[in-house]
C-alpha cells in the first residue's frame, strides 16, 4: 500500500445503496489512472481503527467520503502522520471542503485527489479531541442531540434540525462561563461559546465561510447577556455587516483557551458530533497539523505533487 489511495465510505446510514456508490467511486478514480481501495465502513465498525490500519500499511492518501463528521474522523487519525487527507464531499453541508476550494462535483473532487497538491492546514483541539471546523458548548450541542433523535424517528436532516431549533432555542437556559484568554480571566452569562479553527466570516453572503485555514489561531465567538432569541437577531445583524458593532457579542483570536463551568462535565460539539468532556475544556490550535490534498489551482505550481504515470496517486 506504499503508493495507495484508500477511500473510506461510511455506510452507517443508507447502507443498501453504499455498495453501488463504492463501485462508482472506484470507477471515477480509474478514469484518471488511479486504482483505489474503497473501504465500506459498516455500522458497528470503528472508522478510526480502519484508518489506522491503512496508515500503518503505508497509505499515501486516506480519503474521507462523506460529510464533515467523516472528515473529522479520518483527519483525527492522519494528522501528524505521513498520510495525507483527501476529501470527497458527500455530506449535506461540506464546510471543510468548501473552505478549501475542493469541488462538490464528484468527478472533479476525484481528479483533485489524483492530480492535486498538498496544503498544510491548522486543526483545533479540545481536551485532546481534534476538530477541523469548529467546536461549541451551550445551545448548539443540545440542538444536535435533539436533531439526531428526530432523525431516528425518520425525519430528514433539515426537518429534524428545524424541529430541534424550535424546541431548544426558545427555552435553553443561559449559563455562566469562565474563559481564560491570553492569561486574562473573563466571565460571561451566555447560551453559546463557539470556537472556530481559524476565523469565520461574520458579514454578508459569505457569513460562515473561512478565507484561510492556516493563520494559526482559534476564533472565539461569544454572545452574552441576552435571551436565546437574540441569537436570531445576531444572525440578521451579520447579514447586514453590523455584528462586530454589537456590544453584547465578543470575538477573540487566540492560540489557546480554557473554559470553565460550574460542573464536572459538559456536552461539547466538535464538527457536528457531540461528546461529553470533563472540565475544564482546554482548547489549542495545532498550526499546520494536517496535510490535505487540494486542487492544483488552490496552491502554487511549485507545490504540484503529481507523480509519474506508474503511480496511482498524485501525492508523494
pLDDT in tens, 247-277: 677 889 999 999 999 889 999 999 988 999 9
Look at residues 34, 270, 275 and name the one whose alpha carbon lies nearest to residue 133. 270
Strands 249-254 and 134-138: unpaired
Pick the range with the lowest mean pLDDT from 14-18, 150-154, 180-184, 298-302: 298-302
Average pLDDT over residues 154-161: 67
Query: Which one of 3.90.1300.10, 2.40.50.140, 3.40.50.170, 2.60.200.40 gives the CATH number of domain 131-288?
Result: 2.60.200.40
pLDDT at 175: 87
Determine the Cα–Cα distance for residues 243 and 234; give it in Å rounded to an integer: 6
Dump the DSSP string for the chain. Answer: -TT-EEEEEE-SSSHHHHHHHHHHHHHHHHTTT--EEEEEE-TTS-HHHHHHHHHHTT-SEEEEEESHHHHHHHHHHHTTSSPEEEEEE-SSS-HHHHHTT--SSHHHHHHHHHH-EEEEEEEEEETTEEESSEEEEEHHHHHHHHHHHHHHTT--HHHHHHHHHHHHTTTPPPEEEEEEETTEEEEEEESEEEEEESPPP-SGGGTT--S-S-S--EEEEEE-SS-TTHHHHHHHHHHTT-GGG-TTEEEEEESEEEEEESSSEEEEEETTEEEEEESSEEEEEEEEEEEEEE-GGGS-GGGB----TTSSSS--
Pick the range with the lowest mean pLDDT from 110-114, 245-249, 259-263, 301-305: 301-305
Average pLDDT over residues 44-65: 92
To the nearest 10 degrees (0 to 180), the angle between helices 47-56 and 68-78 is: 40
Domain locations in the chain?
Answer: 5-116+295-303, 131-288
Determine the Cα–Cα distance for residues 165 and 173; give it in Å rounded to an integer: 14
pLDDT at position 195 over 80: yes
pLDDT at 205: 56
pLDDT at 293: 97
Determine the Cα–Cα distance for residues 155 and 31; give it in Å rounded to an integer: 37
Q: Identify the CATH number of the domain defined by range 5-116+295-303.
A: 3.40.50.10330
pLDDT at position 111 over 60: yes
pLDDT at 313: 40
Using pLDDT thresholds of 50, 70 and 90, give the confidence band for residue 217: very high
Using pLDDT thresholds of 50, 70 and 90, give the confidence band for residue 239: very low
Average pLDDT over residues 91-100: 91
Radius of gyration over alpha carbons of the chain, in Å?
20
213-231 CB burial, b ≥16 within 10 A, e <16:
bebebbbbbbbbebebebb
- For the chain, give the mean pLDDT: 81
Pick the range with the lowest mean pLDDT from 141-155, 208-222, 234-248, 253-267: 234-248
Average pLDDT over residues 289-316: 56
pLDDT at position 1 over 80: no
- CB burial of residue 17 (10 Å; 0-12, 13-18, 19+): exposed
Determine the Cα–Cα distance for residues 186 and 192; give it in Å rounded to an integer: 15
**248 or 54: which carries more pLDDT confidence?**
54
**165 or 72: which carries more pLDDT confidence?**
72
Determine the Cα–Cα distance for residues 185 and 171; give it in Å rounded to an integer: 28
Phi-psi region of 25 (alpha: psi -120 to 50; beta: other; left: phi over 0): alpha
pLDDT at position 53 over 90: yes
Share of the chain above pLDDT 70, in %: 72
Amino acid at each position: 500500500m506504499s503508493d495507495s489511495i484508500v477511500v473510506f465510505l461510511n455506510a452507517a446510514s443508507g447502507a443498501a445503496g453504499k455498495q453501488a456508490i463504492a463501485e462508482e467511486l472506484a470507477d471515477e478514480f480509474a478514469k484518471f489512472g488511479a486504482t483505489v481501495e474503497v473501504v465500506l465502513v459498516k455500522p458497528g465498525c470503528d472508522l478510526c481503527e480502519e484508518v489506522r490500519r491503512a496508515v500503518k500499511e503505508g497509505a499515501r492518501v486516506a480519503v474521507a467520503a462523506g460529510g464533515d463528521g467523516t472528515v473529522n474522523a479520518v483527519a483525527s487519525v492522519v494528522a501528524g502522520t505521513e498520510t495525507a487527507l483527501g476529501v470527497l464531499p458527500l455530506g449535506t453541508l461540506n464546510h471543510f471542503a468548501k473552505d478549501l476550494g475542493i469541488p462538490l462535483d464528484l468527478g472533479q473532487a476525484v481528479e483533485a485527489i489524483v492530480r492535486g497538491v498538498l496544503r498544510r492546514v491548522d486543526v483545533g483541539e479540545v481536551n485532546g479531541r481534534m476538530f477541523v471546523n469548529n467546536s461549541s458548548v451551550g445551545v448548539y450541542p443540545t440542538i444536535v442531540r435533539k436533531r439526531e433523535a428526530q432523525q431516528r424517528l425518520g425525519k430528514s436532516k433539515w426537518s429534524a434540525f428545524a424541529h430541534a431549533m424550535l424546541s431548544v432555542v426558545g427555552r435553553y437556559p443561559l449559563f455562566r462561563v469562565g474563559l481564560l484568554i491570553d492569561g486574562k480571566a473573563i466571565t460571561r452569562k451566555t447560551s453559546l461559546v463557539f470556537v472556530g479553527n481559524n476565523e469565520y466570516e461574520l458579514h454578508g453572503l459569505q457569513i460562515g465561510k473561512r478565507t484561510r485555514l492556516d493563520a494559526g489561531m482559534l476564533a472565539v465567538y461569544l454572545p452574552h447577556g441576552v435571551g436565546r432569541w437574540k441569537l436570531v437577531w445576531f444572525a440578521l445583524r451579520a447579514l447586514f455587516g453590523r455584528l462586530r458593532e454589537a456590544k453584547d457579542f465578543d470575538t477573540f483570536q487566540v492560540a489557546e483557551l480554557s473554559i470553565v463551568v460550574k460542573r464536572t462535565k459538559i456536552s461539547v460539539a466538535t464538527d457536528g458530533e457531540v461528546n461529553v468532556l470533563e472540565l475544564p475544556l482546554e482548547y489549542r490550535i495545532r498550526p499546520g497539523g494536517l496535510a490535505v490534498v487540494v486542487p492544483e489551482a488552490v496552491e502554487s505550481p511549485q507545490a504540484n505533487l503529481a507523480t509519474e504515470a506508474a503511480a496511482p496517486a498524485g501525492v508523494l
